[in-house]
Amino acid sequence: MCGLTGFFDPSGNCSEKDMATIVKKMATTLRHRGPDDDGIWCDGDAGIAIGHRRLAIIDLSSQGHQPMVSGNGEWVIAYNGEVYNFPELHADLVKAGIPFKGRSDTEVILEGCAHWGIAETINRLVGMFAIAL
């Protein structure tokens, strides 16, 4: 099972460099949740930091690295779980002209949010999951 972490600093008092240091330490404490990969994403202007520890299950390639940024650059996701119908959702998105870099369910959720919006994507998901967007 992967590990997700992160924080929101609405005060703007934390620099992006400090945010990265903090969220990296937070993610390191979750190493036992995902020994295969780790990553962080920070936006100092928004005061948001997300960390992820990966246990690779679906797409074992580096294309499954998280946090993952959408193709349009507007969305970031850290995810853990299993979406049973992700192949069907992937097919729907491909039919809509959405390009994919890999074959992960993470990317399907992310590109679904970019294409359909969060509520519609969540309504389409069948499975068990935790998501940070």
**Domains of the chain by residue range:** 1-55, 58-133
CATH number of 58-133: 3.60.20.10
Which pLDDT value is given to residue 110?
Answer: 96
- What pLDDT band is residue 84 in, cutting at 50, 70 and 90? very high
106 touches 79 (CB < 8 A)? yes
- What pLDDT band is residue 130 in, cutting at 50, 70 and 90? very high
User: Does 2 qualify as catalytic in the annotation?
Assistant: yes
The active-site residue out of 2, 14, 42, 113 is: 2
50 touches 76 (CB < 8 A)? yes
Which pLDDT value is given to residue 88?
Answer: 98
Which pLDDT value is given to residue 50?
Answer: 96
Whole-prediction pTM: 0.86
Angle (CA) 100 133 43, round 5°: 100
Find, among 78, 56, 82, the residue nearest to 67 by Cα.
78
Question: For 93-108, how does the pLDDT look when each residue is reduced to its tens digit (9 = 90+)?
Answer: 999 999 999 888 999 9
